[in-house]
Amino acid sequence: MSNTTNEQDRKEFSFEENFIDETIIADKSSKTKEFIKKFMKRKTAVAGFIVIVFLVFLAIFGQYLAPYDPDAYDYSNMLAGPSAAHLFGTDHYGRDILSRLLAGTRLTLGVSLSSVVVGAALGTVLGLLAGYYGGIIESLVMRASDVLFSFPDILLAIAIVALLGPGIINVFIAVMVFTVPSFARIMRSATLAVKGSLYVEVAQSLGCKDSRLLFVHIFPGTIQSLIVNFTMRIGSAIMAASSLSFLGFGANVTDPEWGAMLSQSRSYLNVAPHMVYFPGLVIFVTVLAFNLFGDGLRDTLDPKIK
């Protein structure tokens, strides 16, 4: 009789556990559908997302789609305007501008995206620790963030690269450094808001370790703020990386990097304006796409924030 009762209890518990799991999955699925529905209503954000997907595709396959070798010199075709043979024209060495822009997509996006990823990771950890523990940790993190925030992003990046020296690796470090404080501040605020939640207090009362509390219970509640800021910062990172290359602090002048291409074209603005127009247009469209996408995410995830 006892064995039968225990077996029934196990079956009932298993049924309840499965029911809870299915309910959670159904709730997540419902929220995902609702998010997609709301996001699709924001046409500019959808347009930005489409451009971003296209740029990622070009970053992966651009070098295979390029009609010419981006580094091939053709002195018989120097400064040629847009034509059927060269849709975006050629530069002062006869190199095809379209091919160089396609090849440069991976370099420009790669440096910008990787610097934001590393900066976001560091800033997120610092923000979580500052918000959760408070005290001296919070004071140190916030005061350091305030110091970095006191400088405009591009000036801080120029100062770092001037100190470390020119080069694409140092551009990565510079962009990463000015990315950290924004994530630290946002994650601290989000952590303070989530830390007072009932489920976090219950987990604390059950003796949950700090590491588990931070990364299993608190961090998921801050994801929305993290995603929005991450998307917005990529646009700033692209602008900063391109600006540093334009000023001669970034990629080598022979590399097909958008900012470096724009820098080389300055001397030929009057005789070959297409050398300026197309790299500048690509940078503008890319930054705009990430900003529009970030705005759409922000408005969809939290309509109260305008």
252 neighbors 169 (Cβ within 8 angstroms): no
Dist. CA 183–CA 181, nearest whole Å:
5
Q: How confident is the model at residue 190 (pLDDT cuts 50, 70, 90)?
A: confident
Q: Helices marked H in the chain — which ranges?
A: 2-40, 43-65, 97-133, 135-149, 153-164, 168-195, 198-205, 210-212, 223-246, 258-264, 274-301
Please give the pLDDT value at position 215.
80
Task: Compute the Cα dihedral for 210, 211, 217, 221 and give only its sign.
Answer: positive
pLDDT value for 122: 95
More confident residue, 205 or 128: 128
pLDDT at 24 over 50: no
pLDDT score recorded for residue 100: 93
The share of the chain scoring above pLDDT 90, in percent, equals 39
pLDDT at 305 over 60: no
| pLDDT higher than 90, residue 211 | no
DSSP 85: S
Identify the burial level of 169 via C-beta atoms within 10 angstroms of its C-beta, where 0-12 means exposed, 13-18 middle and 19 or more buried. Answer: exposed
Q: Give the pLDDT band (50/70/90) at residue 276.
A: very high
* pLDDT attached to residue 12: 46
Write the CA distances from 172 to 43, 219, 231, 244, 289, integer angstroms.
32, 26, 17, 10, 21
DSSP state of 80: P
Structure tokens at 84: 């059927």
pLDDT in tens, 110-140: 999 999 999 999 999 999 999 888 889 989 9
So what's the pLDDT on residue 98? 93
Measured between alpha carbons, how far is residue 130 from residues 121, 217, 284, 296 in Å? 14, 16, 36, 29
Highest mean pLDDT among 157-166, 192-201, 285-294: 285-294
pLDDT at 22 over 50: no
Per residue in 41-85, pLDDT (tens digit) is: 888 989 999 999 999 999 999 888 899 999 889 888 898 889 998
% the chain with pLDDT above 70: 88
Element (H, E) at 164: helix 153-164
Question: Could you give the CA distance from residue 115 to residue 284 in angstroms, rounded to a whole number?
Answer: 20
User: What digits encode the pLDDT tens for the residues 137-184?
Assistant: 989 999 999 988 888 888 888 889 988 888 889 999 999 998 999 999
pLDDT bracket for residue 227 (50, 70, 90): confident
Confidence check: pLDDT of 214 > 90: no
Averaged pLDDT score across all residues of the chain: 84
Task: Please tell me the predicted confidence (pLDDT) of residue 296.
Answer: 87
Please tell me the pTM assigned to this model: 0.82
Q: Which of 51, 62, 70, 68 is nearest to 260 (CA)?
A: 70
pLDDT at 11: 47
* pLDDT value of position 303: 55
The whole-angstrom separation of Cα 285 and Cα 288 is: 5
